[in-house]
A and B are shown apart, each in its own frame.
Chain A
Amino acid sequence: MNTRYLLPNYLKFPGWIILGIGVIFGIWFFAFDEVMDIKIWMPALHNSFPMDGNSGLFRLVYNSIIDEIAVTLIIIGSIFVAFSKEKTEDEYIMKIRLESLVWALIANSVIMLFCMLTLYGMSFTIATEFNLVTVLILFVIKFQIALRKANKYEK
């Protein structure tokens, strides 16, 4: 079976670990950012905060890196988990993969539409932060459930 774009199977397990660490950083950011914060100067392509005088292109910003670490790890981890080949990657698995991907894209679009129409201000900003990773997370969950289901039926 021709499987372009898929990663080798051995990346699946490291993917789960990276994803797990990313989620821990994500919880840290939302739960304890006020008390345990790590701030560093980061190069910014563009910065726009109305209140500070540091807006514009190519600025250095003093920013908490916990959320950057969390999103980076979650994206890399979930790409490894989602797009590594299964042990036997065959045409039926590809079908399940495709169906899960379509489901995840539609579900994510509905969630984003709902957020856009109902959330304003900081709530919307927080929702868009989540939306950076929701499509991959939804796909991982849906694909895992579909695989389990396919596994279940015995002779």
Chain B
Amino acid sequence: MKNNLRVERAIKNITQEELAKLVKVSRQTINAMELGKYVPSTVLALKIAKVFEKKVEDIFSLEESD
């Protein structure tokens, strides 16, 4: 699964730490997602979409390997 978290974060101008606080996870989790090392749960994906006021599909998308 791909995501454009880093881009969305840049647009909103918040750090990994701040985003982590907003969705109540550790900064490592945000970092692992941005590096494509971790696929978040549905709950976390929905929370992140809520922070950026977008649909989940606008932030997360399937890859060919999925």
Interface residues of A (CB under 8 A from B): 86-88, 90-93, 95, 147, 150-151, 153-155
Instruction: Tell me the bound Cα distance from A132 to B25 in angstroms.
Output: 35
Interface pair A153/B29, CB less than 8 Å apart: no
Q: Are A95 and B38 in contact (CB under 8 A)?
A: yes
Interface residues of B, Cβ cutoff 8 Å to A: 15-16, 20, 24-26, 28-29, 31-32, 35, 38, 40-41, 44
Interface contacts (Cβ under 8 Å), in number, total 37
Q: Which 8 A-B pairs have the closest CB atoms?
A: A92-B29, A88-B26, A90-B25, A150-B28, A92-B38, A153-B31, A91-B41, A90-B29
Chain B residues near A155 (CB, 8 Å)?
15-16, 31
Q: A86-B26, A92-B28, A153-B35 are in contact. List 19 more A-B contacts (CB 8 A).
A: A87-B26, A90-B24, A90-B25, A90-B26, A90-B29, A91-B29, A91-B41, A92-B25, A92-B26, A92-B32, A92-B38, A93-B26, A93-B29, A95-B38, A151-B28, A153-B31, A153-B32, A154-B31, A155-B16
**How far, in angstroms, from A90 to B29 measured CA to CA in the complex?**
8
| CB-nearest residue of chain B to A86 | B26
Q: Which residue of B lies closest to A88 (CB)?
A: B26
